[in-house]
């Protein structure tokens, strides 16, 4: 499945792909063969060829064909078939879809196998209730953090929604807490409050430089621009616009965004000499980086940081972005709305966590109470000054 998926190029239509012919031509260009991916009532995945662009086939027409195939498959599935769909079948269906869409599911699948499979894999989805999930949530909470438990149930919820979208399941999602759902995800307070002091940032950058120049440059880029790790991973030579002083990239949700880049940081990135289609920061094999190297945490430990065991105070690569925002707020030179713009937050609510760092005159105003009290004569003292 994975090898076949890599041969095809996604279109804007879900489940519709095309491959480029190495021999056929269409109007002076390589011909394109359109195919669709779908699953039948049993959850089995299928690829079906629709036809070639030279035959008049378009992505839109292939999408129409796929919808007709799904409709026929849904009609063939009896209510009894759908009631027999198990949690395991739903998860496996989601995994096949995710691989076909070139999404990374290895980690959540490993977590599912380790923590949920033994409890849920053979359970019919029709028998899965919010009460059962709540009991399992309590059980997992005895050994896992609330954040980890939430990740496991979020993965399961996505898998069930995918089954509903593809017609494999037509009931409700027992993991949903919306529209009358009674299941509640674990409550997690993971807002990190730790940010670097200038001395800590300088020391960590120096330590990272001794271990990995690339990791130090990525850290400095995040500190100076507020870019997230995943955004930094996606940067290519074509992302840089030195004339405009901008870095273009794909942000959260697949939205095209840009940030202003200081001249010295732009010079550092240009020195990587990445071709337009090459990643600026690369894994050892030359491909994209998937996660921050363990060398980051080793450097943090080496200079004596992360002494607190509480997760909100733990230093991660994201601490650079948090420091970027915190230092801006502490400067007193930007409004909360301006900080929101630089962080690219959709809602001001997300930025309000930095509001308490913005200097104000609150402390000096507290002297008003002392001034009022000072105006009252001490007990036993004559207002006229006579003893």
56-69 pLDDT per residue, tens: 889 988 888 888 77
Is the pLDDT assigned to residue 130 strictly greater than 50? Answer: yes
Q: What is the pLDDT of residue 3?
A: 37
- Report the range out of 27-31, 166-170, 184-188, 218-222 with the highest average pLDDT: 218-222
- φ, ψ (nearest 5 deg) of residue 21: -75, 145
Q: What is the pLDDT of residue 119?
A: 92
Q: What is the pLDDT of residue 2?
A: 37
- In this predicted structure, which of 2-11, 13-22, 305-314, 316-325 has the lowest mean pLDDT? 2-11
Compute the average pLDDT of residues 171-190: 69
* Burial label, 267 (beta-carbon count in 10 A; 0-12, 13-18, 19+): exposed
Separation between Cα atoms, residue 352 and residue 338, nearest integer Å: 12
Residues in the chain: 387
Q: What is the pLDDT of residues 253-275, one digit of tens each?
A: 567 899 999 999 999 999 999 99
Q: What is the pLDDT of residue 103?
A: 74
Provide, rounded to the nearest whole percent, the portion of the chain with pLDDT above 90: 34
Separation between Cα atoms, residue 6 and residue 26, nearest integer Å: 23
Nearest to 316 by CA among 193, 171, 135, 234: 193
Compute the average pLDDT of residues 239-260: 87
Q: What is the pLDDT of residue 72?
A: 67
Is the pLDDT assigned to residue 38 strictly greater than 50? Answer: yes
Q: What is the pLDDT of residue 42?
A: 62
Nearest to 238 by CA among 253, 226, 250, 227: 250
Nearest to 5 by CA among 97, 105, 100: 100
Compute the average pLDDT of residues 164-170: 82
Structure tokens at 22: 């190495």
Region 198-357: CATH code = 1.10.443.10
Structure tokens at 114: 């380790």
- Report the range out of 231-235, 267-271, 382-386 with the highest average pLDDT: 267-271
- Report the range out of 15-29, 160-174, 195-209, 299-313 with the highest average pLDDT: 195-209
Q: What is the pLDDT of residues 91-103, one digit of tens each?
A: 998 888 887 776 7
Is the pLDDT assigned to residue 311 strictly greater than 70? Answer: no
**Residue bearing the bigger pLDDT, 220 or 54:** 220
Separation between Cα atoms, residue 387 and residue 164, nearest integer Å: 89
Contacts of 105 (CB under 8 A, 6+ apart): 94, 95, 98, 99
The CA distances from residue 361 to 57, 327, 332, 366, in Å, are: 68, 18, 11, 9
CB 323 within 8 Å of CB 352: no
For the chain, give every domain's residue range: 2-77, 87-165, 198-357
Q: Rounded to the nearest 10 degrees, what angle do helices 319-331 and 336-343 cross at?
A: 150
Q: What is the pLDDT of residue 261?
A: 95
* Mean pLDDT score across all residues of the chain: 83
CB 51 within 8 Å of CB 35: no
Separation between Cα atoms, residue 308 and residue 314, nearest integer Å: 7
Give 134's pLDDT tier (boundaries 50, 70, 90).
confident
Identify the residue whose tokens are 């026929």: 72
Separation between Cα atoms, residue 114 and residue 120, nearest integer Å: 12
**Residue bearing the bigger pLDDT, 88 or 4:** 88
Is the pLDDT assigned to residue 346 strictly greater than 50? Answer: yes
* Burial label, 313 (beta-carbon count in 10 A; 0-12, 13-18, 19+): middle
Is the pLDDT assigned to residue 124 strictly greater than 60? Answer: yes
């Amino acid at each position: 499945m994975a090898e076949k998926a890599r041969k095809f190029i996604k279109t804007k239509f879900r489940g519709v792909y095309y491959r480029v012919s190495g021999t056929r031509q269409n109007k002076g260009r390589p011909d394109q063969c359109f195919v669709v991916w779908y699953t039948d009532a049993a959850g089995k995945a299928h690829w079906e060829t629709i036809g070639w662009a030279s035959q008049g086939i378009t992505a839109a027409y292939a999408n129409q064909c796929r919808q007709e195939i799904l409709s026929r498959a849904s009609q063939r599935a009896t209510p009894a078939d759908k009631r027999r769909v198990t949690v395991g079948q739903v998860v496996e269906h989601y995994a096949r879809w995710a691989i076909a869409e070139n999404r990374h599911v290895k980690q959540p699948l490993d977590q599912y196998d380790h923590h949920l499979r033994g409890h849920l894999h053979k359970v019919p989805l029709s028998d899965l209730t919010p009460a059962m999930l709540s009991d399992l949530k309590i059980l997992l909470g005895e050994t896992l953090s609330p954040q980890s438990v939430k990740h496991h149930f979020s993965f399961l919820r996505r898998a069930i929604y995918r089954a509903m979208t593809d017609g494999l399941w037509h009931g409700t999602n027992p993991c949903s807490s919306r529209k009358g759902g009674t299941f509640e995800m674990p409550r997690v307070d993971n807002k990190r409050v730790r940010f670097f002091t200038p001395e800590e940032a300088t020391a960590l950058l120096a330590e990272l430089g001794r271990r990995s120049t690339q990791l130090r440059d990525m850290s400095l880029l995040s500190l100076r621009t507020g870019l997230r790790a995943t955004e930094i991973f996606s940067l290519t030579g074509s992302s840089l616009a030195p004339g405009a002083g901008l870095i273009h990239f794909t942000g959260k949700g697949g939205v095209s965004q840009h940030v202003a880049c200081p001249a010295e940081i732009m010079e550092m990135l240009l020195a990587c000499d990445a071709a337009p289609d090459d990643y600026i920061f690369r894994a050892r094999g030359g491909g994209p980086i998937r996660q921050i190297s363990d060398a980051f945490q080793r450097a943090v430990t080496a200079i004596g940081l992360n002494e607190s065991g509480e997760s909100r105070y733990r230093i991660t690569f994201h601490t650079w972005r948090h420091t970027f925002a915190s230092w801006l707020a502490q400067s007193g030179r930007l409004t909360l709305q301006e900080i929101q713009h630089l962080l690219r937050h959709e809602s001001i609510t997300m930025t309000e966590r930095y509001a308490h760092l913005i200097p104000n005159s609150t402390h000096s105003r507290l002297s008003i109470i002392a001034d009022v009290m000072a105006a009252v004569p001490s007990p036993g003292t004559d207002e006229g000054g006579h003893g």
